Structure 1
Amino acid sequence: MASSSSDPDSLVTLRFHDFRVERMRHWWTLLGEDDHADIVGIFGKFPPFMRLQVDRGLLEALASFWDPTHCCFSIGEVDLIPTMEEYAKLLQLDSPFSETPVIPIQGPRSNRCLEKYLGLTTAVLRPEIARPEATWRKANISLDLLTKYFSRSAFPAARLARDFIAGKKEWKKFRINAFKIAFAGIFLFPTSAGRIDLGVIPIVFSEGRSIIPAILCETVRSLSFCRRQGEGVPMFCTQLLQLWFCSHLQHFYRLQTPYHFERHTVSQTVQIALPFTGDSRAWALYLLDLPLSGWAWKVTWGPASWMPWTHCALFDGVPLPGVWGCTGHYPSLALRQFSGVQYPPRLGDLDAVTFDYIPWPTVRPGAPYSLISRSLRVSASTGQPERVTALERELEEAQTELLSLRLARASEREASAARVESLRSTLHHNSVAVANIRRDLVAQRGNVSTLRTMNEFIREQLEISEDAKEQLEENLAEAREQLETEQAERTRVQDELDSLRSYTQALVDPATGRPQDIVALRRALDASEEALTSARTSMGVMRVQISVLQGDNGVLQSELDLSSCRLGGA
């Protein structure tokens, strides 16, 4: 834990320069959609960050809470670490581990380098570059030069056109290159007002390499420097750090201002509504009094499942190559930010991966005479007696030995103090981790009670399911008996159908294909018709005979009547 994590009196003072943000916004509006796509492919979706107003009091409070030993923010019982995964999601870039990080190497002279990327002549560039004889790692250039030639919608007039090596040819490509250099030097890696360090050139023009490690590296290096010195200029992207930190406060999720967070999307309003407006002391007191429920460990705009990179094979942390140097940090301190169970991590020494690309000179200007090696001094003992020379030699050797002993003791004291401070910080982090583990155990005990209740409920449901199972088995037995009965009935009906089919087949006459009973009936019907016809004929004959008999009977009656008459007359 940093010594100021609970003491708001030892606050860091930051000196903020005017980095000409408005000019960069106007320049962005002059570029086309294809230019925007090319630039966003390198830096991510950064345009909203150019509208974000930085709260200086908040950043000074954060710098005061920075722990340079473990490279994290220690605010009371809360430890937060900006990680490469979170920075990549904020800028909506690919995973920083899917690409090779940018590792700056010795480059050509700065004017030659700018001729290649800007197309301007040496006569124009050389007077504008500070330290033109140096490489890109020491030189810087003015933003005014870039905006003069490239912050415009069309090729400049004839007065400026002659300053280009190839004239109007490829001017649009040079305009994109100029904006990339200016954006990296103004927003991502600012150094001084209106000046752009040419060390950003390898970051901008290293295709297929991730810029996230460099952004995070310079953030860590600058915060550590300002924290140790008690003051300094923030030489990192302050907008990105403020947005990252605010995303870990519950305040912004409840009010949805000034940022509206969605998964894989971060959009912020122009009017910022922080919890309050105050200086660094007010912010420090506010953050120290903030309860644990006011912090958001996991951000909402991250993926459902994080896959953090916590350490390397031969190093307990992760090295970060930057623009002006290299450093390291411990992502294993941020497991709770990735929805993991926080445990006391193994912390090593960051000195092995902490160094500047440009080392200090062996003898610095203004160094005391006694610190300069004898080989660098000019002896003034020429002509002195031999005894005086020997005494002076012995005196110098004694002074050198005494100085070496003093330096050794001072180094031992510094190493002991650093070791004690490291042990104190490690002990604090371990205590915080143990408290977090205890808190997680309490939560897990509550989960065990809930699981027991759920187990009893499941057991009751199983008993109900057993009763239902028995009822289903009874219903199944009844259904099986009914099915067997139906099967027997179906068999009986099938047998009757087979018998009827056999009987029907026996009744069919093979000659006519008709049933034999019908043939017999037809024959009997024909015989009956013939008999009826014969009967009708016989009846006709009988009618004739009856008619004849009736005629004869009439004759006989007439004769009888005549005979009667005769008898009566006689």
Structure 2
Amino acid sequence: MESSWPFSSYDGIYQVTQHMASTQQSEGDCLSNDHFSSLPDRVHLDLKQNDFTDLINIWDKWGATTRANFDRKYGHIARLLKVQMDEQLLKAIVQFWDPSYRCFVFNKVDMVPTIEEYSALIQIDLDNPDKIYWRGQKTGHRRKLAKMMGITPAEVDQNLRKKRDNECIPWSFLRSYIMKHRDTEQGQLVMALEIYGLVIFPKVLGHIEVGIIDFFEQVINKANPSPSILAKTFRSLNYCRRKENRTKEQWISRLRELMSVEVTWRALWMLHHPVLYKCGNEPWVPLMGPWGAISYAPIMVRRQFGSEQFVPMTHRLITLEFAFGEPDFLKKIEEIAQAWKKTSRVDQGRYTDEVTTGYQMWHDQRVKDVVYPKEDALRGPVDPEP
């Protein structure tokens, strides 16, 4: 079977279904039987955004040929500059995030953002989608940024700033560079770096955290950015679960009652091809972002790929989540890198959004004791932390 993923194994759906069902039964779920799940009454969600006006102006002033060249090299990341954020929906949806199963739980519905969906949105052509970003002991951000911009490391040093515990490059410094080199290849490259740092991986307002330089350098050398973007999504959602803020009552009430028949499961622009479902020996996919790692189980949401949903294998799913700098993090990074050298994909079979009887029983048992946010907890402002 010819494929653009030469290092992947391809598993038949029947064999995967049988293996997962037997393993889930023998090894157990990722949580103990007496686990009590409670979705939070309040969460903290910081919705501050960088000002994208200058980036949008630069993009709009480029001609069609320049924009097409940018899209070809870096994917459709510039489109993210004009995406409107629905604050009320985001405030509501984060309360339904289950950090143990790495999914949203809306009544009878589990939903998860996936690598394949992010890849389809960004649209980057990759010879090997299994080539991922991974962080070494030293990122060498000074030298890498100097090479990208054609300046000296000393000039980079002059513009480094310390913001709390983060070493950053100010947006104003890079903006001046882009304006000066707007119609050159280097100007486009720094523009792409800006979008990754200010839009996709924001950490300090008005600045790019230096870890993004190392990440971006690997992306332009054909690393797949989608797993890292997904890692950032998951780790941010897990963090939001631990803080406070109010949400929008109408969205909360709507999502509480969401039924499967109300969901359009498969995005029409998603191609029907084998889906990555595990790496190495674990039954899930490890994700490595610029600041940490986490795992997710895409097999939990096969309906989002237009396939029948069966009981997923979630054994040990919650054992992988760490931030860079923690004890033994370099060893864990190496283990993830090795796991991605042995990926497994499963064929999709026929188009359907049906579920097996076993899955329905498993899902109902899993969420029957989930406690949703109280109505009275949704009222009254709470000042978030900075």
Q: Say whether the fold is shared (TM-score over 0.5).
A: yes
CA displacement at 1:11 relative to structure 2: 3.2
Q: Answer yes or no: is the 8 Å Cα contact 1:46–1:91 preserved in 2.
A: yes
CA displacement at 1:354 relative to structure 2: 2.2
Q: Give the SS at the match of 1:309.
A: strand
What is the distance in 2 between the residues matched to 1:45 and 1:93? 8
Structure 1 residues 429 and 54: alpha-carbon distance in aligned structure 2, compared to 1, 3 A threshold: farther
What is the distance in 2 between the residues matched to 1:2 and 1:127? 50
Q: Partner residue of 2:13?
A: none
The percentage of aligned residue pairs carrying the same residue is 25
User: Following superposition of structure 1 onto structure 2, how do residues 233-382 of structure 1 map, counting pairs within 5 Å?
Assistant: 280-303=248-271, 305-350=272-317, 352-359=319-326
CA displacement at 1:120 relative to structure 2: 3.3
Residue of structure 1 aligned with 2:362, choices 430, 433, 440:
430
CA displacement at 1:290 relative to structure 2: 3.5
TM-score normalized with structure 2 length? 0.69
Structure 1 residues 301 and 92: alpha-carbon distance in aligned structure 2, compared to 1, 3 A threshold: same
Q: Answer yes or no: is the 8 Å Cα contact 1:104–1:323 preserved in 2.
A: yes
CA displacement at 1:105 relative to structure 2: 2.0
What is the distance in 2 between the residues matched to 1:352 and 1:38? 42
Residue of structure 2 aligned with 1:218, choices 232, 238, 259:
232
Q: Answer yes or no: is the 8 Å Cα contact 1:73–1:81 preserved in 2.
A: yes
What is the distance in 1 between the residues matched to 2:65 and 2:213? 21
Structure 1 residues 230 and 306: alpha-carbon distance in aligned structure 2, compared to 1, 3 A threshold: farther
Q: Which amino acid aligns with 2:249?
A: R
| Residue 41 of structure 2 is aligned to residue 10 of structure 1 | yes
User: Following superposition of structure 1 onto structure 2, how do residues 127-276 of structure 1 map, counting pairs within 5 Å?
Assistant: 127-131=158-162, 139-152=167-180, 172-206=184-218, 207-230=221-244
Greater RCO, CA 8 A, separation 6+: 2
After superposition, what is the alpha-carbon deviation per residue over 1:18-59, rounded to whole angstroms, capped at 9, x for unaligned? 311112111223445565345323542233332121011111
CA displacement at 1:282 relative to structure 2: 2.0
Structure 1 residues 351 and 344: alpha-carbon distance in aligned structure 2, compared to 1, 3 A threshold: closer
Structure 1 residues 210 and 334: alpha-carbon distance in aligned structure 2, compared to 1, 3 A threshold: same
Q: Partner residue of 1:83?
A: 114
CA displacement at 1:283 relative to structure 2: 1.2
CA displacement at 1:87 relative to structure 2: 1.4
Q: Which amino acid aligns with 2:222?
A: G
Q: Which amino acid aligns with 1:203?
A: F
Structure 1 residues 2 and 201: alpha-carbon distance in aligned structure 2, compared to 1, 3 A threshold: farther
After superposition, what is the alpha-carbon deviation per residue over 1:330-379, rounded to whole angstroms, capped at 9, x for unaligned? 11100121222222212122455322222279xxxxxxxxxxxxxxxxxx
What is the distance in 2 between the residues matched to 1:205 and 1:37? 21
Q: Give the SS at the match of 1:205.
A: helix
Q: Partner residue of 1:548?
A: none
CA displacement at 1:208 relative to structure 2: 2.0
CA displacement at 1:76 relative to structure 2: 1.0
What is the distance in 2 between the residues matched to 1:331 and 1:228? 24
Q: Partner residue of 2:14?
A: none
CA displacement at 1:73 relative to structure 2: 0.5
Q: Answer yes or no: is the 8 Å Cα contact 1:326–1:353 preserved in 2.
A: yes
TM-score normalized with structure 1 length? 0.48
Q: Answer yes or no: is the 8 Å Cα contact 1:56–1:279 preserved in 2.
A: no
Q: Which amino acid aligns with 2:363?
A: S
Q: Give the SS at the match of 2:287.
A: strand
What is the distance in 2 between the residues matched to 1:345 and 1:99? 22
Structure 1 residues 94 and 67: alpha-carbon distance in aligned structure 2, compared to 1, 3 A threshold: farther
Structure 1 residues 96 and 116: alpha-carbon distance in aligned structure 2, compared to 1, 3 A threshold: closer
TM-align CA RMSD: 3.2
CA displacement at 1:296 relative to structure 2: 1.2
Structure 1 residues 33 and 359: alpha-carbon distance in aligned structure 2, compared to 1, 3 A threshold: farther
Structure 1 residues 23 and 432: alpha-carbon distance in aligned structure 2, compared to 1, 3 A threshold: farther
CA displacement at 1:89 relative to structure 2: 1.5
Runs (4+) of structure 1 moved beyond 6 Å?
Answer: none
Structure 2 stretches of 5 or more lacking a match?
1-35, 329-358, 368-386
Structure 1 residues 53 and 228: alpha-carbon distance in aligned structure 2, compared to 1, 3 A threshold: same
Q: Partner residue of 2:29?
A: none
Q: Which amino acid aligns with 1:432?
A: D
Q: Give the SS at the match of 2:215.
A: helix
Larger radius of gyration: 1
After superposition, what is the alpha-carbon deviation per residue over 1:394-448, rounded to whole angstroms, capped at 9, x for unaligned? xxxxxxxxxxxxxxxxxxxxxxxxxxxxxxxxx998233899xxxxxxxxxxxxx
What is the distance in 2 between the residues matched to 1:64 and 1:2? 12
User: Following superposition of structure 1 onto structure 2, how do residues 50-69 of structure 1 map, counting pairs within 5 Å?
Assistant: 50-69=81-100
Structure 1 residues 153 and 95: alpha-carbon distance in aligned structure 2, compared to 1, 3 A threshold: closer
